[in-house]
């Protein structure tokens, strides 16, 4: 599916937007388990091992597919903006609490692509990042 989306032109049509975005949301937006590593000053990245998500092989495919969807030359932000909205961004930011560095790396890239393609969400994203991280 990832290769098909990458190598074929004209596969992203109007009917695909709600399905692809819903697939991403259903598979990735979830309640994260409580942190197994200490918080704050007690956490030492040199000593404490990150907790890796057991379902990462599945999550990785979903992230890769969604990134290819966002990066496709056929992608039209004006069609996707009905589905990638404030609530979507908030749920995406919540996932940055994941202890798995691989997931946080994909999240960073997805958020960067959304920030670059959805001009109307930029101020909201900046504000929410300030609220969440500072």
Distance CA 45, CA 39 (A): 11
* Band of residue 36 on the pLDDT scale cut at 50, 70, 90: confident
Q: What is the pLDDT of residues 2-17, one digit of tens each?
A: 666 667 777 789 999 9
pTM (predicted TM-score): 0.85
Distance CA 20, CA 24 (A): 6
CA 57 to chain centre: 15
Looking at residue 81, what is its pLDDT? 96
* Tokens matching residue 100: 């798995």
Q: What is the pLDDT of residues 79-127, one digit of tens each?
A: 999 999 999 999 999 999 898 999 999 999 999 999 999 999 999 999 9
| Buried b / exposed e along 7-42 (16+ C-beta atoms within 10 A) | eeeeebeeebbeebbeebbebbeeeeeeeeeeeeee
Q: What integer best gives the mean pLDDT of the chain?
A: 88
Please choose, from the candidates 61, 64, 49, 24, the residue with its C-alpha nearest in 3D space to the C-alpha of residue 100.
Answer: 49
CA 127 to chain centre: 18
* Tokens matching residue 93: 């930011």
- How do the domains of the chain map onto residue ranges? 2-30+56-133
Helices (H), 29-121: 56-71, 77-80, 86-94, 101-117
């Amino acid at each position: 599916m990832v290769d098909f989306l990458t190598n074929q032109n004209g596969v992203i049509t109007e009917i695909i937007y709600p399905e692809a975005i819903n697939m991403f949301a259903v598979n990735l937006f979830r309640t994260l388990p409580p942190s197994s590593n200490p918080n704050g000053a007690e956490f030492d990245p040199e000593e404490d091992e990150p907790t890796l998500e057991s379902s990462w092989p599945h999550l990785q495919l979903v992230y890769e597919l969604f990134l290819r969807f966002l990066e496709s030359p056929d992608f039209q932000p004006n069609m996707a903006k009905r589905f990638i909205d404030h609530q979507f961004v908030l749920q995406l930011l919540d996932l940055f609490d994941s202890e798995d560095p691989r997931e946080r790396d994909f999240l960073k890239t997805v958020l960067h692509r959304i920030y670059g393609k959805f001009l109307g969400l930029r101020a909201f994203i900046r504000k929410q990042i300030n609220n969440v991280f500072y």
